[in-house]
Every structure is written in C-alpha cells, then in structure tokens.
C-alpha cells in the first residue's frame, strides 16, 4: 500500500488530465455542498478549508440524507465516493436530485457513476483499484477539475499545479514521517490538535491512524478547545501523546505553542508538526507525511494497513438495513 502514497505526485498529474463527462457551465451558483464519507468525505473537508478564501462557501454532509433546507437554485452539489457504492453518499445524492439538477459526481465506478450517466450529470471516472484513502490527491484534483469545468473556480489551476509540487519532496516527507513514527510508536490514544483552519488535516491524521495503524485518536480544534477540552486535562489520569499541527498564521501558532507547553506541563508528551507554504500545500504535504507514518506504524504493530475488518462488518449490516434506511432517508 505504501507504494500508492509514493505515487501521489504521479497520480495527481494523471488526475489533472481527466475528462469531465457531461461537462457544462452552471450559472448563478453561490454555494457548494459536498457529500461523501470517510476517505472520500475528507476531500470535501479539505476543499471547504481551501475555499474559505474563495467566493463560494462549501458545506460538507456525512449522512444518509441531507436537510432539504440546504439546497436551493444557487447550490451546486458534488458527490464524492471512491468506490461509487457508498450507501450514505448514494442516498444523499438521490435526495439532492429531488431538489436540483446541479449535481456532479467523482467516483471510480459503481452506482454513483451509473446515476450520473442516467441523469446526464457531469462526472469524472477516476482511476480504480486503490484504497480510497490512498487516492486522496486524485479525488482532490478531480474535484477542483470538475468544479472549474462547471464554472466554479475555487482555486486557479496554476496555483493547484504549483501546490502539487510538494508531493515531489519524498525525501523530506520520509524524514518527517520517521520523526512522527518515533513520536507515535508507543501511543495508545494520541490527541491531535489543530486550529479550525486546519481541522480537516487533524481529522485526516486521525483517519489514517485509525484505518492504517488501527489506533484510536482524539481530535480537538482550537480556539474552541480552550473553552472546554483544556479543562478536561486538568486532573486527567490518562496521559499519552499530543500531536499539534501548526498554521500559516502567526497568532495561531502562538496559541498552538501555548497549548503544547500547557499539555507538556501536565506530563503529556507533545510534538508540533511544522508545515510550509499555503493552505493547500500544507494539506497535501501533511496528508502525505501521515500516510507514510501510519503505514509504518501498522507494520511495527504487525498489522495489515490495507485491511479494515470492522468496516466490512458495518457494510454487511447496511445490506440488511438498506431498504429501511432508504425509505426513511428519502422521506426526510
């Protein structure tokens, strides 16, 4: 699986060249809703962070349905599911289609691509055969590509292409991964902290440690954590490791630094993941580093990073509940 992370730069270039089928210009779009779960949904979270500087607000929903009040004639809905068979995403996309025809699809195949074909929706069929989480930059580039082709420019193509260069720094990524590996190797339940601006990266770090390394993780976001979570540690009996993600804003780094010192004072071992560049570069590079780290942690623990047994059990349950959930989700 490691080799797929190693090919992120190559995959990204490939994704830049994908064709958008049923491409057309969508007029009057003011906001974007992204539907997706897990390794596909995180792409939505990252896009939402990057788009904070654009003219389009982006909202991400991760459920079997979406509240009908979030979609109007100015909303573009983007559904992302690597397999194209994620029940949550299929049902919420069908729900969205009851309200609007401004829907696009990113998937490697499955029911979502069929749905796109049947409804004449713009879609990109991306490279198949990977674990969704190791296809992160493919889905990210494809999403920007599809949106831009439909007239929704969240980031200039040149800026995106320049940002992808960070995926070429494999030596540096492996060096940072080694540090992170050493920091996390004995951790039983690390705390991952980021500012709201980088919350999607904190969640990505968690998800990679969950799926690849089989380690539970607690994520907390500042400044909100200073209003409650910080108090939880005052008399805590459980103390492990805290990984903090730095920011491109100076004052946010002062808050990160303050919290690292505060936690250290309580006997919690801390590490600040220092990144460079702009928001998108930090997301890409940070994701690459944690991808490599989480694979190595799995190997250390004698576990297969690719296998996710418990998700298979969940998917079996969904087979049984599919009809019932579909009925309720449709009527909500």
**Segment 64-123, which members bind a copy of itself (CB under 8 A)?**
64, 67, 69-70, 72, 88
- SS3 track for 116-158: HHHHCCCEEECCCCCCHHHHHHHHHHHHHHHHHHCCCCCCCHH
> By C-alpha distance, which of 138, 185, 154 is closest to 287?
138
Q: Report, in Å, the least distance between residue 114 CB and a copy of itself.
A: 22
Q: Which is nearer to a copy of itself, 149 or 195 (CB)?
A: 195
Residues 320, 328: Cα–Cα separation, whole Å: 14
**Which residue blocks in 185-278 are alpha helix, DSSP H?**
199-211, 229-232, 250-265
Q: Which is nearer to a copy of itself, 86 or 145 (CB)?
A: 86
Residues 307, 157: Cα–Cα separation, whole Å: 35
Q: Report, in Å, the least distance between residue 47 CB and a copy of itself.
A: 13
Residues 49, 308: Cα–Cα separation, whole Å: 28
Q: Which is nearer to a copy of itself, 118 or 309 (CB)?
A: 309
Query: DSSP assignment of 28-85, as one string?
Result: T--EEEEE--HHHHHHHHHHHHHHTTSS--EEEE-SSS--GGG--TTEEEEEEESSS-
Stretch that binds a copy of itself, among 17-25, 36-44, 143-151, 167-175 (CB under 8 A): 36-44
Contact with a copy of itself (CB under 8 A) among 2, 7, 97, 226: 226
Contact with a copy of itself (CB under 8 A) among 16, 21, 272, 325: 325
Q: Distance between terminal CA atoms of the chain?
A: 40
Burial 110-126, CB ≥16 within 10 A → b, else e? bbbbebbeeeebbbbbb
Structure tokens at 243: 């990984």
Q: Report, in Å, the least distance between residue 115 CB and a copy of itself.
A: 20
For the chain, give the longest Cα–Cα distance: 59
Using CB under 8 A, which residues numbered 144 to 183 contact a copy of itself? none
Q: Report, in Å, the least distance between residue 51 CB and a copy of itself.
A: 8
Q: Report, in Å, the least distance between residue 23 CB and a copy of itself.
A: 24
Q: Report, in Å, the least distance between residue 92 CB and a copy of itself.
A: 11
Give the count of alpha carbons within 13 A of 287, CB side only. Answer: 32
Should residue 25 be labelled a site residue for a copy of itself when binding is judged by CB under 8 A?
Answer: no
Q: Which is nearer to a copy of itself, 161 or 321 (CB)?
A: 321
Should residue 41 be labelled a site residue for a copy of itself when binding is judged by CB under 8 A?
Answer: yes
Should residue 331 be labelled a site residue for a copy of itself when binding is judged by CB under 8 A?
Answer: no
Q: Report, in Å, the least distance between residue 211 CB and a copy of itself.
A: 5
Residue 129 vs residues 2, 29, 204, 312: alpha-carbon distances, Å: 14, 33, 21, 17
Should residue 209 be labelled a site residue for a copy of itself when binding is judged by CB under 8 A?
Answer: yes
Contact with a copy of itself (CB under 8 A) among 120, 189, 300, 330: 189
Should residue 131 be labelled a site residue for a copy of itself when binding is judged by CB under 8 A?
Answer: no
Stretch that binds a copy of itself, among 5-13, 105-113, 137-145, 243-251 (CB under 8 A): 243-251
> By C-alpha distance, which of 131, 152, 134 is closest to 78?
152
Binding mask 260-299 for a copy of itself (x = CB under 8 A): --x-------------------------------------
């Amino acid at each position: 699986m490691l080799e797929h992370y190693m090919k992120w730069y190559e995959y990204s270039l490939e994704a830049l060249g994908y064709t958008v089928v049923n491409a057309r210009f969508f007029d009057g779009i003011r906001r974007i809703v992204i539907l997706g779960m897990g390794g596909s949904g995180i792409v939505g979270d990252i896009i939402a962070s990057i788009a904070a500087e654009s003219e389009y607000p982006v909202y991400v929903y991760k459920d079997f349905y979406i509240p009908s009040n979030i979609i109007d004639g100015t909303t573009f809905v983007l559904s992302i599911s690597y397999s194209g068979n994620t029940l949550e995403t299929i049902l919420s996309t069908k729900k969205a289609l009851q309200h609007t025809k401004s829907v696009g699809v990113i998937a490697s195949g499955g029911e979502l691509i069929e749905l796109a074909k049947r409804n004449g929706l713009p879609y990109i069929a991306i490279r198949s055969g990977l674990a969704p989480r190791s296809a992160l930059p493919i889905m990210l580039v494809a999403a920007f590509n599809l949106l831009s082709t439909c007239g929704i420019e969240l980031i200039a193509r040149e800026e995106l292409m320049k940002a992808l260069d960070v995926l070429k720094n494999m030596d540096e990524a492996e060096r940072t991964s080694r540090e992170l590996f050493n920091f996390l190797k004995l951790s039983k339940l690390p705390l991952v902290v980021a500012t709201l601006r980088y919350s999607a990266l904190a969640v990505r770090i968690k998800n990679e440690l969950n799926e690849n390394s089989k380690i539970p993780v607690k994520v907390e976001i500042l400044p909100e954590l200073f209003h409650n979570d910080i108090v939880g540690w005052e008399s805590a009996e459980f103390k492990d490791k805290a990984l903090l993600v730095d920011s491109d804003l100076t004052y946010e780094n002062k808050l990160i630094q303050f919290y690292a010192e505060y936690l250290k004072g309580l006997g919690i071992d801390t590490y600040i993941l220092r990144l460079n560049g702009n928001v998108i570069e930090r997301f890409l590079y940070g994701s690459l580093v944690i991808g490599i780290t989480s694979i190595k942690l799995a190997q250390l623990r004698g576990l297969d990073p690719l296998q996710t047994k418990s998700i298979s059990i969940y998917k079996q349950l969904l087979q049984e509940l599919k009809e019932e959930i579909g009925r309720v989700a449709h009527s909500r």
